[in-house]
Amino acid sequence: MFFALLTFLLVLGEVCVHAVPVPLPESHGKDGILCVNRVLVIHGLPSGHDAAGNALWPADTATAAFFQLPLEWLGYELEYHGIAKGVPSGAVLDGCAGIILDSELELNPSMETRFADWLLEASRRGVKVVVMGAIPFKQTEARGRFMRGFNLKGVERNNVISEIEEIGKIDPAVANYEAVVAKRGAVFDQVEAPEGAAIHVSLKARDRQGKVFHSDPVFTTGWGGAILEPCLCFERPDHLSLLYVNPFEFFFRALAWENRPVPDPATAAGLRIFFSHVDADGFSNLSQVTPGRLSSEIIRDEVFRKYPIPISSSVIVAEVAGLLKGQKPGDDRRLMDVARGIYALPNIEPSSHTYSHPFYWQEADRTASFYDEQGLELKTRNGRAGIDVEKEVAGSVAFIEEKLLPPGGRVRLIQWSGNCRPGAAALKVARRLGIEDINGGDTVASRQRPGIAQVSPRIMVWGDQFQVMAGIQNEMLYTHGFAGPVYGGYQNVIQTFELTGKPRRLKPVNVYYHFFSGDRVESLRAVQHVYEWCLQQPLHAVTASSYAAMVRDARTTRVWRAEAGEWRMENRGRLASFRLKDEGLTPDMNRCQGVLGYNRQDGFLYVATDGSGKTRLVMSRDPGPHLALESSTAPISFDRLEAKEAAFEVKGWGPARVVLTGVPSAASATVVVNEKKGTAKFDSTGRLTLELPDRAKVLIRLKT
């Protein structure tokens, strides 16, 4: 247990920003120099499908499993190009910071030379190139062209088992991260790093013919770098993957990362985000907590009504409408009455868990074989009758809005069902309706299951669309599929919250479960225990749809470096928080535009903006005094924010805490809360903490 905890703490260790930076590709414009953040992943097989005929999607790549989340955290957004589409055009290199060759990439021999030339052209244009697993070229001419062009030395040793005899060098800042590089037999190429490269792992090995050779499987250099076998990942007997290389440190060097404002959808108003959503499974179950009552009624009364926090709650339309096989006449009346009562609660955000709960959404999905049926069996349809995405998304939303919501009520969210791999077609329906989406990903990192592979990316690409993944996984993965005997295992999600919060804030706090947690006392108590823990933390509560909108906005946010210490950011205003490494500078509130304040936490500076979508951030070593927001546990909007006066409003679901900063220590102020006047004094650090009701209009005026 201690080793697992130590391992995971290493996983989430600090970024050590001490490498010599290399200039990034830049785009000049009227707002300054655009910080490019696109990373293109080349993946797949020439056929576009595996041996079983299943499509090869980005979600199934090693890059998505191991490296997308660290890259997102560093401020990069990934795009994927399946090699079955051919060699990419030169146009895709515009605004591209880097290219990753996925470790499972295979090339058609006829395209190898063209692909090598394309990579060389990318490098000449300043785009970083990162090779994962192995050099993908098999043809002698193409491989030679690539090796010479990137100043690599070595010979092809694919499919040859070699024995590692000596570990020549280990850079502790980058290597021996979750797993230790050790002497063993492995299949790998002989590749020597370019002259002048930073070598993070070097090995001496002997092949089966007895020839001794030197290899540098992990290095970074001016054109990018590589993580080659045998240093990609170690798989434990329980199939849990651990990385040899720290991806945060590696990509910091390989992509020449610079300290700049990074869109951070895990943060709002200076605090880590909290949101909660409930999948509808188990809505009609009979609960053992109180005989004769439904699990949905138990969750409604023991959770929804008890906790003053926003919760996105869903239904499966076919279930509440009594359309499932085995349902009796009259079931629909009771279930719809319960649903209407839930949706009438002030802290509930209406959402859909689809029409008939598809278990898998696309026929060519490799996970389809995991299921006996494609969806729940309806009285008028068997479980493998195919999926109508229009009905599952638009049809379910229309039913909920027309039959279950109060007049004028709107569904804001679709919560994907089953394997949560919806594909482009279903996502396009959600976009057309103007609703957000969520679910998918397996973020279950804990002391028992350490490793960055246990923390999923925040989005997944499907064609020209992308889905928003759940922040943290649900109770199914903490209770062994809810098969018992540990029905209360969901309380271990608190470990996941803690390990993904510090020292890097990788994820929001997402309390995500199903109505069947109301089946048993122990599972209900676990959910309540998790909520009680959340209420004791400094968190900013939002709805699930708001979080999804932040993630969507983060992907299209643009950041310009205007001049030394000055940045400009632009987006739709849904994402309003940015993160920088704390280098001792502070936003100069007298010169910033669209900035509400800042909060220093765990070596990072979190900047809160006003949601206008256009921000000017000016950093200073010694800015003048100016009122600023440090944090708020509830949504907050400012009517006025001046050096000595501020007027704002909070609209939350329970008592709110607002902390202001930026003024001299022990300063006195007049405070008006909901027209009640009083006085307050800032503390010795220049902070003022206000305990407010869920709805409050506040005026602060410093005394001169």
Q: Are 28 and 563 in contact (CB under 8 A)?
A: no
Helix 140-149 and helix 112-124: axis angle, to 10°?
10
Q: Residue 14's pLDDT is what?
A: 34
Task: Give every CB contact of residue 91 below 8 A, 6+ residues apart in sequence.
Answer: none
Task: Give every CB contact of residue 308 below 8 A, 6+ residues apart in sequence.
Answer: 347, 653, 654, 655, 694
Q: Are 621 and 613 in contact (CB under 8 A)?
A: no
Task: Give every CB contact of residue 608 below 8 A, 6+ residues apart in sequence.
Answer: 268, 269, 270, 576, 577, 595, 596, 597, 598, 599, 629
Q: Residue 365's pLDDT is what?
A: 87
Unique residue bearing structure tokens 């939350």: 652
The span from the CA of 652 to the CA of 655, in Å, is 7
The span from the CA of 524 to the CA of 479, in Å, is 13
48 phi, psi to nearest 5 deg: 85, 0
The span from the CA of 84 to the CA of 287, in Å, is 50
Q: Could you state, in chain order, the average pLDDT of each consecutive group of 10 residues for the chain (704 residues)?
A: 34 33 45 92 95 91 98 98 96 96 97 98 98 95 96 73 91 97 89 97 91 94 97 93 97 96 98 98 97 97 97 98 96 98 98 97 88 90 76 98 96 97 97 98 92 96 97 94 88 97 96 98 98 98 98 97 94 98 97 98 97 97 96 98 98 96 94 97 96 98 91
Q: Residue 30's pLDDT is what?
A: 57
467 phi, psi to nearest 5 deg: -100, 155
pTM score above 0.75? yes
Q: Are 276 and 312 in contact (CB under 8 A)?
A: yes
Which among 271, 260, 273 is positioned nearest to 557, based on CA atoms?
Answer: 260
What's the DSSP call for residue 301?
I
Residue 386 region, left (φ>0) first, then alpha (ψ -120 to 50), else beta?
left
User: Residue 471, CB half-sphere, CA atoms under 13 Å: how many?
Assistant: 33
The span from the CA of 68 to the CA of 459, in Å, is 9
Amino acid at 265: P
The span from the CA of 447 to the CA of 62, in Å, is 23
The span from the CA of 291 to the CA of 671, in Å, is 52
State the first-to-last Cα distance of the chain, in angstroms, to the nearest integer. Answer: 57
Q: Residue 25's pLDDT is what?
A: 45
Residue 13 region, left (φ>0) first, then alpha (ψ -120 to 50), else beta?
beta
